[in-house]
Amino acid sequence: MHANKHLRRRASIDNVPICIMIIASFISFISLLLVTLLLISVSAFTPNTISNSGRSSTSIYQYATGTQQFVEVTDLRSPRDVYSMEQWAIQYGLQKADGVELYSTNDEMKDYSLYTSTGIAAGQTALFVPSDIVLNSEVIAQEFSDGSLSAAEESLIQIDNQARFPQGAEYRLPLFRLMTKILVEYEKGTDSMYYPMLNSLPRQFYNGVSMTKVCFRCLPPYAGWLTQNERINCSHFTNALRQGYVPLSQETIYNKQVTQWAYNCALTRFHEIYSPTRAKLIGPMADMINHAAEPNCEIQVDGNGNMNVVSLYDIQPNEALSISYGEPRNPTP
Amino acid sequence: MVCVLLPPYDMHSSPLFLHVHRIFAKYGFLPTDCATIFCKAIHLVDVMYELNYDMTDLLIQTQTGEIAPPVWDAFLYDVLIKNDYNSAQQFSAAVKSGDEATKQQIANEWYPYTLDALKTHVNSVLDDAAKLTKKANKMDLAKHPRVPVIVAHNQLVSRTFGMTAQLLEQM
């Protein structure tokens, strides 16, 4: 049987034209060469420690990505990557007037803002932020079409009612939506399209939410009340999320540092609009402009949700862009 | 402990008014170029709303210590409520209708009491600010990195109300 098989194979080989054999041999040689090159390249870029075992290689790979996957918010010293955010935003269509640049306002590189190196004429758009990368509380409400967000909002209203803040809960829903969105995107880690934006946000805050009981005891009653109020708001938002309606992991919503960070980012970086509906928006880079009592810019939002930072008057070269953090009255109280 | 239930503050802000205490609570910094601060009479919140005022009306100038007229109205109305109910009703109606003549007449009549109530409040705020600043300065900056902004806030209060106290003494 074996001899016959061998003979049949020998015969079949003899019947194949010589040119086909040459092509087949060439393909085999090329395949062998490619496999060899691949093996060489893998060994060249793989550390010796993980080349011995496929399993250990996978474990280390997972660990490596795990440490880099989420925005590091628990370490207050972790750096803000504002320049990667800028590149990311430009890829999505963000436009800056000539000379508008980021700069750090302190030595510790914790605070950034924008300035113009060349000057900007009155009425000129200094910064255009397309709606695609703007976090918009109205859009967020539509994104959660499964009802999970509205269920969490109902929980928040109940929590506020129990705490005797009956008028406040619904008014604060836009802020709640922003905080929720930030947490949802935070959980996606580098898979989130907003990762560069989240990774550019501050880690340390000095506002009421961040203050301790000792801090409150050093403030006069009115300032103490206002600052504690922010802390209570954050606590109510977090408790509403802990009801489990919005798909967030336990690790996230029970991590106080993460929830406080998300609340603080939403609270300190939004721009509010009242038309066509009241909404709060966070626009990358536009959210970095600092406050001035006499600002040289204002933020305008068009009907499509694009944000424009427009100069109010001629801005001189090397002058920082500024807006007012003053709170305009709600026209529909 | 007095529990003061205030409405959500977002609903009581004036057009483009910069509320320094809210900025402080919300952003964690103190706008040093602010022109006014709240008079800190949170014990008069009910009175304030009865007169159709809100916190953005009850102000003190940071550069001069000057007291805004609605602050005088609120302190006077509180004095009237405690001492003369009929005059209180008259005064409230005059404030709401803009009847300046009636307002002025009642204000003149009760001026010493209003002035006294204001002095008491201002001196109380000054005492508190001094004690709280002293307490804050004892805190370890490494453990409490927000101390500088807290101290800055309290010093702004001390500076402004100090000027107000001097103005009241001259009256």
Q: How confident is the model at residue A30 (pLDDT cuts 50, 70, 90)?
A: low
Cβ atoms of residues A130 and A285 within 8 Å? no
What is the residue extent of each domain of chain B?
Answer: 17-169
CA of B100 to nearest chain A CA: how many angstroms apart? 27
Give me the phi and psi of A271, to 5 degrees please: -115, 135
Q: What are the pLDDT digits (tens) for A177-221?
A: 999 999 999 999 999 999 999 999 999 898 989 988 888 888 888
Per-residue pLDDT at B140: 85
Alpha-helical (H) ranges within A172-323 are 173-188, 195-198, 213-216, 221-241, 250-253, 256-269
Nearest to A206 among B18, B29, B40 (CB): B29
Give the β-pairing of B36-38 and B59-61.
antiparallel
* pLDDT greater than 60 at residue A322: yes
Which residues of chain B lie closer than 8 angstroms to A229, CB-CB?
A: 9, 25
Q: How confident is the model at residue A46 (pLDDT cuts 50, 70, 90)?
A: very low
Per-residue pLDDT at A106: 76
CA of B4 to nearest chain A CA: how many angstroms apart? 9
Average pLDDT estimate for A42-57: 31
Nearest to A226 among B13, B25, B144 (CB): B25
Q: Is A306 on the interface with B (CB under 8 A)?
A: no
Q: Is A29 on the interface with B (CB under 8 A)?
A: no
* pLDDT greater than 90 at residue A300: yes
Q: Is A329 on the interface with B (CB under 8 A)?
A: yes
Nearest to A168 among B8, B15, B28 (CB): B8
Hey, are the CB atoms on B28 and A206 less than 8 Å from each other? yes
Separation CA A138–CA A128 (nearest Å): 20
DSSP string, A259-278: HHHHHHHHHHH-EEE-SSS-
CA of A105 to nearest chain B CA: how many angstroms apart? 14
What is the distance, to the nearest Å, from the Cα of residue B4 to the centroid of all Cα atoms in its chain?
A: 15
Q: Which of residues 173-232 of A touch B (CB under 8 A)?
A: 204-208, 210-212, 214-215, 217-223, 225-227, 229-230
Hey, are the CB atoms on A226 and B22 less than 8 Å from each other? yes
* pLDDT greater than 90 at residue A303: yes
Nearest to A220 among B16, B26, B157 (CB): B157
What CA–CA distances, in Å, run from A140 to A133, A182, A262, A282? Answer: 12, 10, 15, 12
Cβ atoms of residues A80 and A288 within 8 Å? no
Which residue of A222, A232, A298 to mutate against B (max B Cβ within 10 Å)? A222
Q: What is the pLDDT tens value at each position of chain B, 171 positions in all? A: 233 333 333 333 333 345 777 888 889 888 877 788 889 898 998 899 999 998 888 889 888 999 999 999 999 999 999 999 999 999 999 999 999 999 999 999 999 999 999 999 999 999 999 999 999 998 888 888 888 889 988 999 999 999 999 999 998
Per the model's pLDDT, the better-predicted residue between A273 and A53 turns out to be A273
Which residue of B17, B20, B55, B150 to mutate against A (max A Cβ within 10 Å)? B150
Q: What are the pLDDT digits (tens) for A230-256?
A: 899 999 999 999 999 999 999 999 999
- Is the alpha carbon torsion for A40, A45, A49, A50 positive or negative? negative
Hey, are the CB atoms on B42 and A222 less than 8 Å from each other? yes
CA of B40 to nearest chain A CA: how many angstroms apart? 6
Hey, are the CB atoms on B154 and A164 less than 8 Å from each other? no
Least confident of A125-129, A199-203, A277-281, B25-29: B25-29
Which residues of chain A lie closer than 8 angstroms to B13, CB-CB?
A: 327-330
Average pLDDT estimate for A137-150: 95
Counting one residue from A and one from B, how many pairs have CB atoms under 8 Å apart?
A: 126
Separation CA B23–CA A226 (nearest Å): 10
Hey, are the CB atoms on A221 and B42 less than 8 Å from each other? yes
Per the model's pLDDT, the better-predicted residue between B74 and A171 turns out to be B74
Per-residue pLDDT at A109: 67
Least confident of A41-50, A83-92, A96-105, B31-40: A41-50
CA geometry: angle A220, A224, A227, nearest 5 deg: 145
Element (H, E) at B167: helix B147-169
DSSP state of A331: S
Hey, are the CB atoms on B11 and A330 less than 8 Å from each other? yes
Cβ atoms of residues A60 and A80 within 8 Å? no
Per-residue pLDDT at B28: 87
Hey, are the CB atoms on A293 and B128 less than 8 Å from each other? no
CA of B106 to nearest chain A CA: how many angstroms apart? 29
- Six-digit token string for A148: 């999970």
CA of A269 to nearest chain B CA: how many angstroms apart? 9
Hey, are the CB atoms on B10 and A327 less than 8 Å from each other? yes
pTM to 2 decimal places: 0.74
Enumerate domains of chain A plus CATH numbers: 2-69 (no CATH), 82-323 (3.90.1410.10)
Q: A217-229 burial by CB neighbour count: b if 16+ within 10 A, else e? A: ebbbebbbbbbbb
* pLDDT greater than 80 at residue A19: no
Per-residue pLDDT at A33: 57
Q: How confident is the model at residue A226 (pLDDT cuts 50, 70, 90)?
A: confident
Q: What is the mean pLDDT of chain A?
A: 81
CA of B32 to nearest chain A CA: how many angstroms apart? 9
Hey, are the CB atoms on A208 and B28 less than 8 Å from each other? yes
Cβ atoms of residues A308 and A125 within 8 Å? yes
Percent of chain A beyond pLDDT 90?
56
